[in-house]
Amino acid sequence: MTEDEYLLDQAIDVYLSGLKGLEAFISEPSAEFALSFEQYLILRSITKQPGIKLMDIARQRKVTRSAVSRQLKVLLGNGYVTQKRDPADRRRQALVVTPAGKTVEQRITANVKKRFKKWVAIYGSERGQMLLDLLADFNKQILQNNPGSNKESKQND
């Protein structure tokens, strides 16, 4: 077996045993409120940036407007967010968090922070930083430079 084949086998093992479960692990705090982690992150953006527009969120997250719109439907449907027409341009609508949305965002954020703190306590902040640096570098060098992966990620958002 060549070194490349060995690395591929290891990558597959890591994916099957760890990375597949990572999203479920990350999403757990928001699932209690029938939200995906992506929806929570959008709710958090609206909470931290009152009056933000859908287009602003799409630009910040580097996804399409329709991707944000699909996620936003759930937040609107749950009564966590409302839309308010811009008096200067009636076609534009600002996103506003409701009191229920603010409570949900605060509770999920508290759970995320508690979970992250446990993760750092087990893994260590130095190793955690090394892992995050490695993942950021992998994202920049491999994922962001792969034209096919950007297209796929926008479709999946």
Q: How far apart are CA 121 and CA 144, in angstroms?
A: 31
pLDDT at 49: 94
Q: Which of 7, 54, 35 is nearest to 103 (CA)?
A: 35
Q: Please give the structure tokens belonging to residue 41.
A: 């992150």
Class for the domain spanning 3-123? mainly alpha
Q: Write out pLDDT tens, residues 44-82.
A: 999 999 889 999 999 999 899 999 999 999 999 999 999
Mean pLDDT for all residues in the chain: 88
In this prediction, residue 36 carries a pLDDT of 92
At 92, the pLDDT band (50, 70, 90 cuts) reads confident
Is the four-CA dihedral 120, 125, 131, 135 of positive or negative sign?
positive
pLDDT at residue number 148: 62
Confidence of residue 149 (pLDDT cuts 50, 70, 90): low
- Which amino acid makes up residue 71? Q
Q: What pLDDT was estimated at residue 137?
A: 93
Q: What percentage of the chain has pLDDT greater than the value 70?
A: 93
| pTM for this model (two decimals) | 0.79
pLDDT value at 13 more than 70:
yes
Q: Where are the domains of the chain?
A: 3-123
Nearest to residue 44, comparing CAs of 104, 99, 93, 85?
A: 104
